[in-house]
Amino acid sequence: MDSPETSKNNVTTTASTTTAATSSSESPPVQESPFFRFVNNLSPIKSAKASHLAQGFLGLSSPPLVFTSPRINSQSEAQFLKRPQFSQSHCVETSQGNNKSESFIDDPDISNKSASLLPGNVITDTQKDLVIKNDENTQHCSSSPRVDEYLVDPVDVDCMYTTHSVNPDVKQFNDAVESSQEESKDVDEPENIEDEITDVGGLSKECAKSERQQCRNSFSQDLQEYEDCGEMGPNSSICAENMKQDGSELMQACLKPRGMRRRCLQFEEAASNAFGNIKSSSLPLNTPEESRTSSRSSELRDLIAYGSKPSGIGLHLNSIVNAMPLAEGCMQKMKSVSSVSWQKVENMNKCLISSNMDGQSSVGAEDERREITATSESPSTMDPSNYLDHVEHPADVHYKRKLNPKEAGNFEEMSQSSPKRKKKKISATGEDDGCKRCNCKKSKCLKLYCDCFAAGIYCAETCSCQGCYNRPEYEDTVFETRQQIESRNPLAFAPKIVQRATDFPLNEMEDVHLTTPSSARHKRGCNCKRSLCLKKYCECYQANVGCSSACRCEGCKNAYGKKEDYIAIEHAFSKERLSGRVEKVSDGTFHNELEMVANNTDLLRGDLFDLHQLSPLTPSLQCSDQGKEAAKSRVLTGNYHPSSGSDVTVFTPHAKFAECPENPERSLVLQETNEMVGTDSGHWQLDSDNVEIMDQSSPRCTSVSNAGRFASMSNAPSRTMDASIPSKTREWTHHPQAQQSHGSSNILSGGSLRWRSSPITPMTRLGEIKNLECNESESRLFDILEDETPEVLKEASTPRESVKASSPNQKRVSPPKSLARELGSSSSVGLRSGRKFILKAVPSFPPLTPCIDSKGPSHENSGASNSKYSKQAPR
DNA sequence: GAGTTTGAAACT
DNA sequence: CAGTTTCAAACTC
């Protein structure tokens, strides 16, 4: 901190002088750096920004320092974790060191502020600079209307998150351009700024496109990754430029620090991202920085491992519900994703996380698709325009929010005062592209009343909440609150909709009734009395799932499945199962039974894929029947098309989860991460939970599931997660890791395979999925059972399966092994049965990628839901 | 946009 | 565990 001040002084004194000179004085190397050259070459617009940047720099040492010290990252990372949402605004400016000096003079106060804001961590000059810049940016924004400027479209914010992953560069450029133009005005005219911003943004966009594209081309995928981590981070811009020229560690460092995404209550994501980035970057920064990171970083990790995830990802209805519609998009995404690196996947996940709430960002979904595909191919391909549109400036929001917590009231006022932004893209439904918005007034967004909070995400600018504490600034408060709520109800943040193992084999389903309720069900069920489960008042209906026996609704007419029908089907199905070996299995979870059935029916082998494929479809089908979503889901499923097409449609309910909502990408991604992992992980969780914790109903499950999700998300990430994941997650990770790795591999696997595998995967665990993919032959199952599951899983799995993950209360009925033996074609089968069971559950197409993943949450939930099932399931 | 309805969440 | 209150979304006008 000290250094920054000094630097500020220097800067201020030298402000008149060229930045280069100042920088040189402080850090000669910087001047020489290619970065400066690049900056110099930049368009005139830069200058304006530069001035702007200068403000940011005021406190900071010369920009060149930044280049010099890679360490910055560490701190930035730490901050990062805590404050996912930094504004990206001034980053560009900072990158343009030349101009900066000039601007510094403008706001010495700001610099001071920024300095004050800086975390207590001691930072090298360069680091300080970076950090300070970031902070300054944020502060500036908060203090001034600038934030608005950066906010192109509140709605887009979500998209931006997604987009960020793809091309942060664009944002940066845009921001820079905008900032340059607007800088002079920003402070004085906050209100006007917004309007201007939009206009300016458009202009700047056009102007900057060429440059952006160029820059883009230069940027490596790494940048993208970084972007993912820090959508906002002003650093991002800097980093981007730096990356271009130097591609040096600095870039990486800068990138890392980027703030977490706005909404990442699920710190996991942010953390995962950060970690993932670190890995990907392979920069040395990672470990040391992490170690350095303040207690907060550790806290964040804890959060990540712990509660954040559980609550976060796909658990919530929001994500689930929304995810449904865009199955197609998800599919495509999945495909694209397959090609895309895991990092991209993570990005998507991040996006999803943010979008979980809504899952509706249809536009965003498409954009994301494009982005993904484009990114997979090459970042350069991306259209800057898209970026611009999507790119948000979370920083803006955060800036505002970064204001003192005490200022929450003000904060509220601000948020309210600027309804324009929020309203700009807010849909009538209150959902942005993909992200939900809340309108909390009394809960401070710290209760489950708040959709954002319930979804494990931070409130966004688009939210109309008052006195919101669900913001990165109040991370601690949020975390504490979450813990409290979880202490009351460990599953409070668990996905409300669980994909119960109930996925009935198609055959059986057919036998019973096409109307069979999808496997996906609301964990707690609804309690509707007047809405007849035909309105969104009904959580089941809202989630596009049918009512189940868990529901206490009156006069249920849920279009997605009536409670009565569900019960009837369930009953019939259970009978069939019971007739078979299933009874022996007493383990009990519905899943097990189903699996058992499947095994008996030979579905697993011959039709295994089909089943898997179908299974995912099946859930959606119901929906499809009644709703649009179902249709979409079908589309997705169509790819897989299991043996029985018709049936598929029937069963689809899961698809909803797995499927992407309108914003499939985000939601999907999230879901994928969650669910992919989740579905798999969900089962995993169950297994893992059972393994590690038989008892737990507790939060651990959620955390575990989450962790699993992450791991599954990406191969590399999985590793990162392991390392990065806090203790809690780690516990669970042990088992999952292998799985995770598998899962990731699956995801990465070729698109075609993926799809297939994906369907399988859902059923099976990630590892299993791999096997399946590798071995398409019937033997796959066996292989999977044996090969896939890590020993731990195998052992654990059998018992686990017996135990219902979701239901803490539930106890092991019997060891699965015995059952498996009985079942079986072979003893292996017995084990398999458990696994097989998993396979069934998998139905969602986890491999497919994000979309499929959506199911994951259901799976996770499944644990909880399982309990219900167990109750319901006749045995 | 304001007011009402609805049901989940929180509280007792 | 049940009843009541609080809350915010969904819905209606």
Q: What is the DSSP string of A144-198?
A: STHHHHH-S-HHHHHHHHHHHHH-HHHHHHHHHHHHHHHHHHHTT-HHHHHHHHH
d(CA A125, CA A66): 7
- Strand C at less than 7 A from CB of A440: yes
Number of residues assigned to chain A: 875
Residues 6 or more apart whose Cβ sits within 8 Å of residue A487: none
A448 CA to B9 C1' distance (Å): 7
What pLDDT does A518 receive? 54
Q: Tell me the sheet residues that pair with A436.
A: A431
What pLDDT does A277 receive? 41
DSSP character string of A598-620? HHHHTHHHHTHHHHHHHHHHHHH
What pLDDT does A464 receive? 85
d(CA A348, CA A718): 15
Question: Which nucleotides in chain B lie closer than 7 A to a protein CB?
Answer: 5-10
Q: What percent of chain A has pLDDT over 70?
A: 14
A492 CA to B12 C1' distance (Å): 20
A164 CA to B5 C1' distance (Å): 40
- Strand C at less than 7 A from CB of A536: yes
Neighbours of A505 (CB within 10 A): 32
Encoding tokens for residue A563? 């409670």
| Degrees to nearest 5, angle at CA A783 with A777 and A784 | 100
pLDDT at A337 > cutoff 60: no
Identity (one letter) of the amino acid at A426?
I
- Strand C at less than 7 A from CB of A438: yes
Which of chain A's residues 418-447 bind strand B, using a 7 Å CB cutoff? 447
Nearest Cα to A350, choosing from A495, A228, A225, A479?
A: A228
What pLDDT does A559 receive? 87
d(CA A545, CA A521): 6
Confidence of residue A550 (pLDDT cuts 50, 70, 90): confident
The least confident of A606-610, A618-622, A777-781 is A606-610
A837 CA to B8 C1' distance (Å): 33
Nearest Cα to A374, choosing from A362, A359, A384?
A: A384
- Strand B at less than 7 A from CB of A37: no
Q: What percent of chain A has pLDDT over 90?
A: 1
A684 CA to C5 C1' distance (Å): 39
- Strand C at less than 7 A from CB of A871: no
> What's the Cα-to-Cα distance from A160 to each of A121, A163, A169, rounded to whole Å?
30, 4, 12
d(CA A337, CA A851): 10
- Strand C at less than 7 A from CB of A450: yes
- Say which DSSP state A431 is in: B
- Strand C at less than 7 A from CB of A446: no
d(CA A661, CA A655): 10
Report pLDDT digits (tens) over A216-244.
Answer: 443 333 334 333 433 333 333 333 334 34
DSSP character string of A527-593? --SSSTT-STTSHHHHTT----TT---SS---TT--HHHHHHHHHHHHHHHHHTTHHHHTT--HHHH
Residue with tokens 């204001």: A403
A708 CA to B5 C1' distance (Å): 40
Measuring from the CA of residue A430 to each C1', which nucleotide is nearest?
C9
Confidence of residue A483 (pLDDT cuts 50, 70, 90): confident
What pLDDT does A37 receive? 60
Greater pLDDT, A467 or A262? A467
A12 CA to B7 C1' distance (Å): 59
Q: Tell me, letter by letter, the H, E, C secondary structure of A355-371.
A: HHCCCCCHHHHHHHHHH
**What is the mean pLDDT of the segment spanning A140-162?**
37
| Average model confidence (pLDDT) across chain A | 44
- Strand C at less than 7 A from CB of A489: no
pLDDT at A108 > cutoff 70: no
Identity (one letter) of the amino acid at A589?
T
* Burial category of A515 from C-beta neighbours within 10 Å (exposed 0-12, middle 13-18, buried 19 and up): middle
Q: State how far Cα A221 lies from the chain centre.
A: 19
Identity (one letter) of the amino acid at A696?
Q
Measuring from the CA of residue A528 to each C1', which nucleotide is nearest?
B7
A698 CA to B10 C1' distance (Å): 20
Confidence of residue A538 (pLDDT cuts 50, 70, 90): very high
Q: Are A522 and A548 in contact (CB under 8 A)?
A: yes
What pLDDT does A340 receive? 34
Report pLDDT digits (tens) over A441-457.
Answer: 899 899 999 988 888 88
- Strand C at less than 7 A from CB of A37: no
> What's the Cα-to-Cα distance from A824 to each of A580, A597, A795, rounded to whole Å?
12, 11, 17
Confidence of residue A36 (pLDDT cuts 50, 70, 90): low
Nearest Cα to A757, choosing from A614, A584, A602, A640?
A: A640
Measuring from the CA of residue A423 to each C1', which nucleotide is nearest?
B1
Measuring from the CA of residue A464 to each C1', which nucleotide is nearest?
C8
Q: Tell me the sheet residues that pair with A498.
A: A521
